[in-house]
Structure 1
Amino acid sequence: MTGFSRRKGTDEKLPEERHFKRLLIGVVVAVILFTVAFLALTWFKSCRSPQDVTSNWFVAWGTWAGGLGTAAAFLIAAFSILVASAHSRFDRRQDAEIREDDLMGQARLLSIYKVDDKGWLSTLPTYRIDNWSKDWFFDVTVPYVDARNAEGHIERRTADLAEKEIRYAEHIPSGEQLTPHRDNSDDEAWFTLVRVHATNAKSIDFAVEYTDASGRRWRQSLGGKIERIPMTKAVPIRRPDRFQPRPPIKKLSGVEAWRSGITQGGITDGLPPLESDEDFLEVIGVSNVQRWKRIERIDEIKFERGGELSSDLEVSVTFGPAAPPFWLIHFRNKLAESGLRYGGGRSYYVQTDRFLCSRDIDTAGLNEVIDAAIQFANDRFEENELAAARRALESRRNRTRSDN
């Protein structure tokens, strides 16, 4: 902070205080000189011509004394006001320094230092920018780095040039975000690096601009000097990096899409085909492969008439155990060939599927149709999807045994 200041524990005074002291000394000296002159002249006059020492003599000197006193009082009052104003300015300046010091508290906890690592090339000096505070730093940017190149000229490097020209291992941070400092972290995002090619590391010069957790913008030079940067804009959105949070909504993988489509009514049209035995195992699930048991119908088939506005007959089929994926596709597709359309269902330990068909259908023969569809689904599932999943599971076990 520039300007005057008064140091604690010293006798250094403000300039106005020193001027006021000189004024008081001058007034005292003037009064003393005036008094000495009056006394000396009065004595001299009384010795030479006593008749001239009259009341007019004293009135004249009194007039001069009154004028001198008035002038002295005016000067003392004026300089007192100046001293009071100086003290007020000093107090405001001191309060501003204290506030600025408090505001700079987090900004001082960003440190810049050179990394001395013998494993790195001497022509590729590295500097670390560490956040030692307990809060975030935003938009950490090095606008440019000045370094001496091989021709001996000072070259100015920027983040865009470093990225565009793809120099080996160069990095200049731009719009990065530093987390609060912590130890033993896998995601060490509380520091970043400045690394450029230079023939002499001593020729490197740069400054770091960053925004603290309170929204104040700062610039810190390589020597540690910190300056405030006026800000009238919001912190810019940073580019994605490896520490981006996971999106709340993501695209399903092929395996997830098959598993979701099958369990939600066999909606598998347009899905990419499964390409390996491992994919079939992921969709069916290891537990379903290990506990597979042929599915059988449980209870009698139930028939219910639809509402007055519906011309369909609702057929409910309960079977157990609950069917794994793919089995449902074979079962429902087989019944669709007989005119039974899947209309929803529920499952827990056993499963109930509801189908819709025309009221004119022969219900007496539906038992055989449904039982045949269950056996058909069992056979197709065991021959195709379950066989592929079992091969994948056996392959996993073989790899585990070989690793042990």
Structure 2
Amino acid sequence: MSQSTSKQTKEQTEQQVDVSIVGGGLSGLLMAVSLLRQPNIAQHSKLAIIEAANLEPSQMNPFDDRVLALSHGSVEYLRSLGVWTLMADDANPIETIHISDRGNYGKARINATDHQVEALGYVIPLASIANGLLTALKTADKHNKPIQWYTYSQIEQLTIKAEHTDIKLAAGAQAEPIDIEAKLVIACDGGQSLCRKVAKIGTSQQDYGQWAVIANVCPELPHNNRAFERFTEHGPIAMLPMTNQQCSLVWTLPPEQAQQVSELDDKAFCLALEQAFGRWLGSIQSTSKRSIFPLSLVQAEQQSYHRMALVGNASHTIHPIAGQGFNLGLRDVKVLADLVQQQIASGEADLGNAKLLNQYQVMRESDQQAIIKLTDSMVTLFSNDLPPLLAGRNIGLKVMNYLSPLQKAFVNKTMGY
């Protein structure tokens, strides 16, 4: 990847680009790949990626051993970009989803074959996705250098102007500060987005009063490509099938219990999980190191601003109950990349124009609100033991299990269609 050298003149440190992607995490890397896969963008536009950390496939430690559940629609999009083959070996299909309410009769089974797909989704390590996207970008970089990379780079100042946005990078890997003029800034810089704050875009927040305990565990019995969503009186337990017969665990608990459970030794943790989850997969044989984080719903009050678009967690952070967070952000990326291509095809030179940003705002609103409503209502419904809600959710699970139109609507939504 090309990077700034330590012997730059002042002229070399003032860069003009069409699109600046702020943040080199999964959303930022996917945004870059999506733009470069659009016809003629690499020939007609200059792109920059700004990231505070290193970005090399061999050094993706920030992604540790966490995994994502990719929806069927998300995988199809990655296939269309030509990058799925770079990561597919590390992905495990979800062929069946078991949904149950512990201690109650409500159960539902969703099978991929009933919906004419080979898999409802795939479980894959974050590092595998990142490495695949970086490999694709490095390959493009070797051919025609379409991207200006600014890694190990901290934004010192961001100033939004009428015709462009000024981005001043502090001296870091480069010997002196760098000024970038960007027609369009794409904020992929996460839940604490600097770009969003500079644009003074407010957020609405809802604390769920729950924490997620994350680990990879090895059960006694083979998972047979089954994913489990097990609702308990304390919160849902998700067990997602991984390669090597492991399962990715997302165990939702009240904060104090989450802290206590995460601090148990491995043997005690496995026993506690087995007691809470049940013996659907036999005993829990071993576990990785645990991590915990609080769960909340965060929504940006708008998806775009003058010369700026918010993507992924910079725009929305949702509950992991249905595994929709990254998939929702992926669709942000797809829509924005398509709109940029349409602008170029129409002969529009200014990719940060108001028409594009207004279209992005309108096109993303309904999808985002639908998924937020789905996940938020599931949290409310399955975290409450009031008799009417308890009866309603168990009847709902039964109905979804046997009434195919209802199940089809739910599956289509969670598969990203």
Structure with the bigger percentage of strand? 2
Could you state the TM-score of these two structures normalised by the residue count of structure 2?
0.17
Larger Rg: 1
* Higher RCO structure, 1 or 2 (CA under 8 Å, sep 6+): 2
